[in-house]
Amino acid sequence: MKILKFGGTSVANSQNIKRVLDIVFNKAKQDKLIVVVSALSKVTDLLQLASEKAASNDDSYKEIVADIEKKHLDAIKELIPISEQSGSLSHIKRIINHLETLLDGCFLLGELSNRTSDTILSFGELLSSYIIAETLKQNLKNSSYKDSRELIKTNNTFGKAAVNFEVTNQLITDFYASNDSQVVVMPGFIASSLDGINTTLGRGGSDYTAAIMAGALDATDLEIWTDVNGMYTANPKIVKQAQPIASISYQEAMELSHFGAKVLFPPTIQPVLRKNIPIHIKNTFEPEAEGTFISSNSLSNGSPVKGISHIEHISLITLEGPGMIGVSGSSKRLFEVLSNENINVIFITQASSEHSICIGILNSDAGNAEDAINRAFQIEISQHKIDPCIVEKNLCIIALVGENMKNHQGLSGKMFSTLGKNNVNIRAIAQGASERNISAVINERDVKKALNTLHERFFEDNTKQLNLFVMGVGNVGEKFIDQINQQNKFLKDNLKINLRVIALANSRKMLFDEEGIDLKSWESLLDKGEKADQQLFIKQVKALNLRNSIFVDITANESVSQTYEHFLRESVAVVTCNKIACSSAFDNYKNLKNLSRRYSAPFLFETNVGAGLPIIDTVKNLVASGDKVNKIQAVLSGSLNFIFNNFDKDNSFHDVVKEAGIQGFTEPDPKIDLSGIDVARKILILIRESGYKMEIEEIENESFLPEACMETLNNDDFFKSLIEHATHFEGILAEANAKDSRLKFVAQFEDGKASVGLQFITKDHPFYNLEGKDNIVLFYTDRYVDQPLLIKGAGAGAAVTASGIFADVIRIGNI
């Protein structure tokens, strides 16, 4: 004997019902079956809506009834041969007429009692089960229909009636003993009281109906057929990487179903648990899929955590005050108040000091609970022994569930540290002594991020998904995107990092895609994006609230650099090649570093100095290990080094600067490089990272550009001025040749003073042979006294800068 239950989506329409009947036919070849069915998909919601409209004197309920009638009549016409339809059509019309009469009564009276609501809601299952039973009879003669109201008896608690198992079990066994049908079809969800009044078992109660039948008849199996491949490690609609759970214990299934795993109605397990009857959750649309097997034994999936679930729309009520300490009965009084108001408590936690107690209830009950509690403790509140209760709404409970969690240390630590790194604030925590469940209350807006973060930590082989928001897609940005596209598979396979570009923006357009932008066609997609808006970009990043979010600034824009604080405060990491923020006022620089630490949001800017060279990281390691930087000498501009290495009697200064721009060695505004301000910013950043306080104005900048060149307002005028002052640059070159020296733009720091400027470098100096666009830095420290620590390599160019940004992103992935 097997009990099969089919949910609303499984019987949503005639096509789906045919799938159900195929499954039933195949199962009936080997076993006797009881088939429990839900209402057609969405019909219960329509019945609820119709009853509410009728009770509020809105006659549009008649349109809803007409829609319900059409849905069921169409199903009959598509499932049952024309010659056999008349009786079924008449029966459906009689049921619909009865429904209309009840709704007309609600309309006339202007009210809807719980008792009437139960009767109205029962029509969905009555209609669907009749149609399915009649269709089944066309092909399986030895089948029958049984109204579950005649078998399942309850009390008169309308809306969620309690089953009288003694009477119910006897009625079921008596019925089955006298019935020889191979298949019996029954409506789920509905029952009746001992005096014959319609009741319901609660939304999702069709599962419960099937379990009651299974328990009463000692069935070999209870099969719950739905539209997914079993219970999942998390809600697959929220966590795309969620996986079906092959095997799970009754207790684990109860925990998950209680915490919102909607594939199984929580009370379902109780009737079969006592009889040790296994439950198999299967997919009507993929009947060959393994599904989830629920029994007394739980096979390990390699993780002590079996699933992550959540309950939304929670309010946290806190009762606290010195008058609770050492006073027995405070908790009893609190829970009695809630019980008297018929308010279900979902979550409980109490401090060991007894100073406060926290409970979680549904948002819809919060107002009633607050009034009732304050009334009950009115005397203590007036005497200031207890504070009026505090109500926090729009929260959510998330829970880790697993039978074997008690045998593994550190799970709570992993859970809370993972949430903390993603700025998910925990309002309350509860863990039972069985350690089968660790629950935390969080803000409802953080649910998606929290579930995905925890799922990644416990189920995805430690693969970390990084969500990138990229601003600036010029030469460097384009190379950066190309590198991500090229390396994505390698990162997943070898470093367990999954990179997704969620947003791209330039000065004209911006593009967002929560599922990740297709990097093979990003240019055409961005072209069709919305108008660029910096504030809207920030707002979108905050609204998406994705885990492991990284803002990547690949611009030289001051206003963009001023947005970092907004991102860091939201625990969004910042990676930037834009030097403006770290060379701005010292207080702003320190504030960004402090925010990074406070909100566990990395702030990385390795490419601010030396493009892809590990210069800043080296300074950080020197300082962290206790060394002291005393002196710095450096050529920090790859663009200027390229320019002065190629400037000779055959190549004019103007032409060399033009070529540097074409190759991407200079900023879009070449004056930033040639004025020395870019180098001043770089040495300032190194000085600050070395532990010294300095402002940009304190750095002496010995400019080699004529004042007229500096005063130009656009690039065209600037390049014209370079031609007009060609003799000035030729004079500098002639002086260098006369001194048998090479021209290098050098940055220096020593004894608290810093300068940048053009120098004549002789052959015996380490800078003399610096070629192309290379950078070089000499660090003189307490440990590197006679021979400095030297770092040398390519310090400009789109590809190397992009690789430096990429390296910072990967560094965050490895944290």
Q: For residue range 392-438, what is the model confidence (pLDDT) as tens digits?
A: 999 999 988 887 777 677 788 889 988 988 889 999 888 765 567 88
d(CA 22, CA 45): 27
How do strand 190-193 and strand 153-154 relate by DSSP bridges?
A: parallel
CATH class of 307-458: alpha beta
Q: What is the pLDDT of residue 305?
A: 87
CATH class of 2-227: alpha beta
Would you state the structure tokens that stand for residue 772, as one six-digit string? Answer: 């192309």
Superfamily of 615-793 according to CATH: Dihydrodipicolinate Reductase; domain 2 (3.30.360.10)
332 is catalytic: no
In the chain, DSSP finds a helix count (H) and a strand count (E) of 30, 30
What DSSP string describes 63-117? HHHHHHHHHHHHHHHHHS-GGGHHHHHHHHHHHHHHHHHHHHHHHHHT---HHHH
Q: What is the pLDDT of residue 774?
A: 86
* pLDDT tens, position by position, 174-197: 999 999 999 999 999 999 999 999
Indicate the SS3 state at residue 356: strand
DSSP letter (8 states) at residue 491? I
- For the chain, which residues make up each domain, given as ranges? 2-227, 307-458, 464-611, 615-793
Would you state the structure tokens that stand for residue 513, as one six-digit string? Answer: 């895609």
Residues paired with 392 in a beta bridge: 316
CB 762 within 8 A of CB 741: yes
Q: Residues 6 or more apart from 142 whose CB is under 8 A from it?
A: 180, 181, 182, 183
Distance set, CA 520 to CA 77, 192, 716, 809 (Å): 49, 61, 35, 20
> Quick one: 59 exposed, middle or buried, by C-beta within 10 A (0-12, 13-18, 19+)?
exposed
CB 510 within 8 A of CB 521: no
- The position carrying tokens 């007894």 is 354
Would you state the structure tokens that stand for residue 258, as one six-digit string? Answer: 């209680």
d(CA 697, CA 680): 9
CB 216 within 8 A of CB 222: no
Packing angle of the helix pair 123-139, 43-55 (nearest 10 deg): 150
Residues (pLDDT < 50) of the chain are none
How do strand 347-350 and strand 356-362 relate by DSSP bridges?
A: antiparallel
Q: Cα(first)–Cα(last) distance of the chain, in Å?
A: 55
d(CA 274, CA 509): 62
State the catalytic residue, choosing from 479, 682, 744, 773: 682
Q: What is the pLDDT of residue 666?
A: 81
Q: What is the pLDDT of residue 354?
A: 63
Q: What is the pLDDT of residue 536?
A: 95
How do strand 437-443 and strand 497-505 relate by DSSP bridges?
A: unpaired
The CATH code of domain 464-611 reads: 3.40.50.720
CB 346 within 8 A of CB 314: yes
Sequence-separated contacts (24+) of 501-505 with Cβ below 8 Å: 501/468, 501/470, 502/467, 502/468, 502/469, 502/544, 502/546, 502/549, 503/468, 503/469, 503/470, 503/537, 503/540, 503/541, 504/470, 504/473, 504/529, 505/470, 505/471, 505/472, 505/473, 505/532, 505/537
- The position carrying tokens 């770092």 is 791
Q: What is the pLDDT of residue 240?
A: 87
HEC string for 293-334: EEECCCCCCCCCCCEEEEEEEEEEEEEECHHHCCCCCHHHHH
CB 359 within 8 A of CB 317: yes
- The position carrying tokens 């649910």 is 447
Is-same-fold flag (2-227; 615-793)?
no
d(CA 686, CA 681): 9
Length of the chain: 815
DSSP letter (8 states) at residue 560? H
User: Backbone phi, then psi, for 473, in 5-degree steps?
Assistant: -130, 45
Q: Order of strands, edge to edge, in the sheet holding 153-154?
A: 153-154, 190-193, 198-200
